[in-house]
Chain A
Amino acid sequence: MANIPATAAGIADAVQSKEVSATEVVEHHLNVIAQRDGDINAFNLVTSEHARAAALRIDNAIASGAAVGPLAGVPIAIKDNMCTRGIPTTCSSHILEGWKPPYDATVITTLGAAGAVMVGKTNLDEFAMGSSTENSAFGPTRNPLDTSRVPGGSSGGSAAAVAAGLAPVSLGSDTGGSIRQPAALCGVVGVKPTYGRVSRYGLVAFASSLDQIGPFATTVDDAALITEVIAGHDPKDSTSIPQPVPSLRAAAREGVQGMRIGRVTDLPEGAEPEVAARLNEAFAALESVGARIVDVTLPSLSYALTAYYLIAPAEASSNLARYDGVRYGMRTSAADTNAMYGATRAAGFGDEVKRRIMLGTYALSAGYYDAYYGKALKVRRLISDDFDRAYAQADVVLMPTSPMVAFPFGDKVDDPMSMYLCDIYTIPTNLAGHPAMSVPFGTGAHGLPVGVQVLAPALGEVAMFRVGGALEAAGAAR
């Protein structure tokens, strides 16, 4: 078999210049999946037939001289909470088992038009609620770097698929860190674009005001390439931003000369010492290539986790109410309609989903709304104000992505609070609606990867990718 490039950009070039065929590329990745995914369990479903047919269409188009898109022949894994027409979409929940959406999410349509080839639907914490992928109804995904450890979550399947070479790139969704945290734990690049940059149409909602789709990749360039393709205004999503998408691949090569990098002096504590050390080295590395470090404060950040665990469950309690057994998915029969709702939802949802539905229902209840949900919205405003002040002084802010490296199975799954703390550094960005990315930067305990997180203001993807690109280059030079 021909030599298959490791990156999406390399594959697209090789396919378009006919060095390899899209079919060879997809067969290669289906082979790797067959060999490795038994151990990893990154995929809920491998869509071999669909992938082979798509690759063949690309090859035929190239043979006939027709124009193909910028991702021609690039295999991509899709988190199993994005709707794919005629292909099961489960959210790793029993309640949606067997459901086949009658329509494609906008990102699926866009990727297809760009020539990307979906190879499968990846595992996640049920309805994207979790930080370890242990909450999947179909069993956990294992970290390819140490299969006794979690890959992070909730997009653990998509992170692991890229880390293990099952696909060069993948899509995840990030509500409180669900792309960045598993990217950090699996040693790959993960990007959460600005809220509204990428259409949410067809992304099964967890918390609508926080959810955002973004890519996993092995390189910052690939992450930029995928972001450029999937970003852009979508009239089907009212919260989609009608702004053109700048060239992010160019930004990633631009360097950071003269940029102001924010260091948060009142960052909530809790990061492992090695993680803190890598962050300090990242500042030094950026300074050495021409950036300036400026101190900023984000005093409301310590309230972010609490606010998030009111807002996200509140929205989830409403978003997940539609799984009632009436129209699709699982139904557990009972004496009357109300009993059927209860029985279906009791059998269909896992513990973490139930916990958040109850939290959210309570937070929105008459008599409690002001004390909980209302107050959380005020905190959200304060956090945005904090960021606005910080970005008046700095172009980007650097933080750890995850306080810890990949942890063993069972370490946190029975203690929700310790699991929730995994997202302490990622949640604030979601509350503000800003973009952020995680870039691998050295290793921590047990030689496991550490991610450094680059945060930028709304629509600040160019600045974010400039710094991301520089961090990647500095990490490679170490």
Chain B
Amino acid sequence: MSTLLPEGWELICGLEVHVELATKTKLFSGSPNRFGDEPNTNIDPVTLGLPGALPVLNEQAVELAMRIGLALNCTIQPCTFHRKNYFYPDMPKAYQISQYDQPLNIDGFLDLPSGVRIGVERAHLEEDTGKSTHIGGATGRIHGSEYSLIDFNRAGVPLVEIVSRPDIRSAEDARQYVAELRAILLAIGASDAKMEEGSMRCDANVSVHRVGTPFGTRCEIKNVNSIRALGRAIEYEARRQYDVIDSGGTIRQETRHWDDAEGRTHTLRTKEDADDYRYFLEPDLVPLVPSDEWISRVRANVPMLPAARRTRLADATGADVQGEAVSVIVERGQDDYVLSVGEVGGDVARGLVYVQQAFSEEPSTPRIPAKDIAALTLMERDSKVTSTQAKTVLADIVANGGGDPAAIAAAKGFEAIDTSEVEGFVDQAIAADPDAWAKFCNGEQKAMGALVGLVMKASKGKADGKVVTAILNSRRG
């Protein structure tokens, strides 16, 4: 099935992203907020919704939620909590405490690396449910299962739900949005944002319409568990809706389940069987009114965001701001380190390449002294080692947690050869293969490879490939 819509048709998508906040304790109780513990150990009367237990709002959760709001250019406003009522076994109180008509953060935006701006309608606080595991039955869902196990460790974990405006027009935009959002959440320390562990979960509202006409009826796609799956699900769903409309049908508003193995969505529930959540103001909590002073304090703790860091790194290194090197280094949080290579006198552009290549296992602040990397970049720049030799020296430095690159190069016999010596090797190569030289002079670029190979052989790999190429080109005139 083609994933593209015909000319004149447009895909409209808005995303609802839930992220678990990296707090010490739960949203309304003192139990630890920790993934992977023995089931039903991080519980207490509030978490279990025992009769008489009351919620008390976690200040750290509010701060992290405000940080998210500020990073997404939202307005922070006085807000309230509501109860969202529905029965489910892993929902201990049979209602979820969430924010309804007065959320904490409203009216923000997120700029994609491509420059497209996606509106953020709101980012509100709510509590997570427990986690059910349904045993027996074909579908792994509660219906038809023999019995279910419930782990309440996750119940009451603080979530922020970030709701975008329907500004997304392609699967690629959606992927970029989630990737950029994830980078922001990691940078501000609000969440570990792991889609595979469920600490970041994404639902997509998708519709299609003919450009210039009102938006079509939307469907909500659930169970999208990776950024890749998100793109596939959106493209599948847009095409499905177009096909329904094209064959004379209409789209029903419904919730659909993405089956990643089958690569398709199917109906989970229609609007008619949607729960009536009977939202009302949570009487056990009071309104949350963040003071200007508190907001300023949180704002001061918001670090530089990935977009600004990418620009800074690109400016310093001359690399493409949308390129892989820049985005990978910022995602790893190693951009400060790359810049520090420049600060201690190194060649920061080569520093970027080295760190991208060799530091994937290093922490965001690598153990290796920046001066060692800086010294190596200068040796390569000054042709004291070839780029191939530099790689070998770099690997040695990383493996040993640092080291003097000059000493390592010397120990490996990577002594410098100067240009006049290389000129001699080039003379020998031309003499050894005049055919290749003739072809090269006739503009057959491929012939250069044979000549370079001969120089390398003669110099035992010590000649710098770039220098050899430059000499050959200049000789050809």
> Hey, which bits of chain A sit against chain B, CB under 8 A?
82-83, 89, 91, 96, 99, 101-103, 105, 200-205, 207-209, 235-239, 314-315, 317-318, 321-322, 324, 326-328, 336-338, 341, 361, 364-366, 369, 373
Besides A91-B51, A238-B54, 6 new A-B residue pairs in contact (Cβ under 8 A), listed by A number = A105-B52, A201-B53, A238-B57, A318-B85, A321-B94, A328-B50
Which of A82, A324, A365, A366 contacts B52 (CB under 8 A)? A82
Q: Does the CB pair A101–B52 fall under 8 Å? A: yes
Give chain B interface residues in 41-80, CB to chain A under 8 Å: 45, 48-57
Q: Does the CB pair B56–A373 fall under 8 Å? A: no
Instruction: Check if B276 is an interface residue, CB within 8 A of chain A.
Output: yes
CA distance A369 to B89 in the complex (A): 26
CA distance A238 to B283 in the complex (A): 10
Q: Which residues of B contact A89 (CB under 8 A)?
A: 51-52
Report whether over half of chain B's contact residues are helix, strand or loop; otherwise say mixed: loop
Pull 21 A–B residue pairs with CB atoms less than 8 Å apart, ordered by A: A83-B50, A83-B52, A101-B51, A101-B52, A202-B53, A204-B51, A205-B51, A208-B284, A237-B54, A238-B284, A238-B286, A239-B285, A317-B85, A318-B83, A321-B87, A321-B93, A322-B93, A327-B49, A327-B92, A336-B143, A364-B278
Q: Which residues of A contact B50 (CB under 8 A)?
A: 83, 101-103, 328
Q: Which residues of A contact B150 (CB under 8 A)?
A: 326
With A236-B54, A322-B49, A337-B89 known as contacts, the answer to whether A373 contacts B280 (CB < 8 A) is: yes
Instruction: Check if B142 is an interface residue, CB within 8 A of chain A.
Output: yes
Q: Does the CB pair B54–A200 fall under 8 Å? A: yes
Q: How far is the CB of A320 from chain B (nearest CB, A)?
A: 9
CA distance A204 to B50 in the complex (A): 9
Q: How far is the CB of A283 from chain B (nearest CB, A)?
A: 35
**Interface residue total, chain B, C-beta cutoff 8 A:** 31
Closest chain A residue to B280, Cβ basis: A364
Q: How far is the CB of A238 from chain B (nearest CB, A)?
A: 5
CA distance A365 to B85 in the complex (A): 11
Q: Which residues of B contact A324 (CB under 8 A)?
A: 87, 89, 94
Closest chain A residue to B81, Cβ basis: A238
Q: How far is the CB of B48 from chain A (nearest CB, A)?
A: 6
Give chain B interface residues in 69-111, CB to chain A under 8 Å: 83, 85, 87, 89, 92-95
Q: Does the CB pair A315–B52 fall under 8 Å? A: no
Q: Does the CB pair B278–A201 fall under 8 Å? A: no
Q: Which residues of B contact A337 (CB under 8 A)?
A: 89, 142, 148
Closest chain A residue to B276, Cβ basis: A366
Q: Which residues of A contact B56 (CB under 8 A)?
A: 235-238
Closest chain B residue to A211, Cβ basis: B283
Q: Does the CB pair A209–B283 fall under 8 Å? A: yes
Q: Does the CB pair B52–A204 fall under 8 Å? A: yes
CA distance A238 to B288 in the complex (A): 11
With A238-B55, A238-B56, A238-B57 known as contacts, the answer to whether A327 contacts B283 (CB < 8 A) is: no
CA distance A402 to B187 in the complex (A): 63
Q: Which residues of A contact B53 (CB under 8 A)?
A: 103, 201-202
Q: Which residues of A contact B57 (CB under 8 A)?
A: 238
CA distance A208 to B54 in the complex (A): 10
Q: Does the CB pair A238–B143 fall under 8 Å? A: no
CA distance A400 to B148 in the complex (A): 54
Closest chain A residue to B51, Cβ basis: A204
Which of A103, A326, A366 contacts B89 (CB under 8 A)? A326
CA distance A237 to B85 in the complex (A): 21
Q: How far is the CB of A278 from chain B (nearest CB, A)?
A: 35
Closest chain A residue to B143, Cβ basis: A336
Q: Does the CB pair A203–B83 fall under 8 Å? A: no
Q: How far is the CB of B150 from chain A (nearest CB, A)?
A: 8
Q: How far is the CB of B357 from chain A (nearest CB, A)?
A: 53
Q: How far is the CB of A194 from chain B (nearest CB, A)?
A: 15
Closest chain B residue to A91, Cβ basis: B51
Q: Does the CB pair A365–B276 fall under 8 Å? A: yes
Which of B92, B148, B276, B278 contacts A322 (CB under 8 A)? B92
Q: Does the CB pair B51–A96 fall under 8 Å? A: yes
CA distance A328 to B48 in the complex (A): 10
Q: How far is the CB of A334 from chain B (nearest CB, A)?
A: 13
Q: Which residues of B contact A327 (CB under 8 A)?
A: 48-49, 92
Q: How far is the CB of B186 from chain A (nearest CB, A)?
A: 32
Which of A83, A101, A315, A326 contacts B283 (CB under 8 A)? A315
CA distance A279 to B99 in the complex (A): 47
With A102-B45, A238-B55 known as contacts, the answer to whether A208 contacts B283 (CB < 8 A) is: yes
Closest chain B residue to A327, Cβ basis: B48
Q: Which residues of A contact B95 (CB under 8 A)?
A: 318, 321
Q: How far is the CB of B153 from chain A (nearest CB, A)?
A: 14
With A324-B87, A327-B92, A337-B142 known as contacts, the answer to whether A318 contacts B280 (CB < 8 A) is: yes
Q: Which residues of A contact B279 (CB under 8 A)?
A: 364
Q: How far is the CB of B427 from chain A (nearest CB, A)?
A: 86
With A208-B284, A324-B87, A326-B89 known as contacts, the answer to whether A318 contacts B278 (CB < 8 A) is: yes
Q: Which residues of B contact A105 (CB under 8 A)?
A: 52
Q: Which residues of B contact A361 (CB under 8 A)?
A: 278
Q: Which residues of B contact A364 (CB under 8 A)?
A: 85, 278-280
Q: Does the CB pair A203–B48 fall under 8 Å? A: no
Q: Does the CB pair B87–A202 fall under 8 Å? A: no
Q: How far is the CB of B459 from chain A (nearest CB, A)?
A: 76
Q: Of A82, A105, A205, A317, which is in contact with the most chain B CB atoms at under 10 Å from its CB?
A: A205
Give chain B interface residues in 215-267, CB to chain A under 8 Å: none
Q: Of A203, A208, A318, A328, which is in contact with the most chain B CB atoms at under 10 Å from its CB?
A: A318
Q: Which residues of B contact A322 (CB under 8 A)?
A: 49, 51, 92-94
Closest chain B residue to A202, Cβ basis: B52
Q: Which residues of A contact B45 (CB under 8 A)?
A: 101-103
Closest chain B residue to A377, Cβ basis: B281
CA distance A365 to B45 in the complex (A): 29
Q: Does the CB pair B87–A201 fall under 8 Å? A: no
Q: Which residues of B contact A209 (CB under 8 A)?
A: 283
Q: Which residues of A contact B55 (CB under 8 A)?
A: 238
